[in-house]
Structure 1
Amino acid sequence: SAHLETGHYFNPHAQRIMEAKAAGAKLIVLDTRLSNTATHADFWLAPQPGSEPAIHLAIASYLIRERRYDRDFVRR
């Protein structure tokens, strides 16, 4: 979802995103449209509509294969 859309000043998610960016975090946005959130992104990926699930599965596959996840959290 686009957390930085209209009224984002009242959205706690938007505030945390902007605070993290100010602290040096990189924002990667996967959105088919150039949303307000995407305009703040360090990297914006605009996939063809309907292809998002395949991209999410590819990311999940990479994270699992490379063991780039919190195993203790997943076990719980």
Structure 2
Amino acid sequence: MHYLDLMTQANLLDHHVWTNPDTWNSALEYTAKKKSSKKGGSVWIFAAVCCIGVIALILGIVYLMTNKKKNQGQ
């Protein structure tokens, strides 16, 4: 919304609602919840990358161990 639109509709706002502390508390809680949900997504991405790295490491160790056994047999 543009500043001019906001100023032309400022008289339509109910000032009693904006002075009520419950309005501000609910707005702050909503903002905090919205911010915390964004942070949670990055944690899951980091966890997924770590899991993929651990799986790749395990597969690499298994591959090297099987090659080592094949070379010892020759």
TM-score by length of 2: 0.29
Q: Which has the larger radius of gyration?
A: 2
Flag the structure with higher strand content: 1
TM-score by length of 1: 0.28
* Greater RCO, CA 8 A, separation 6+: 1
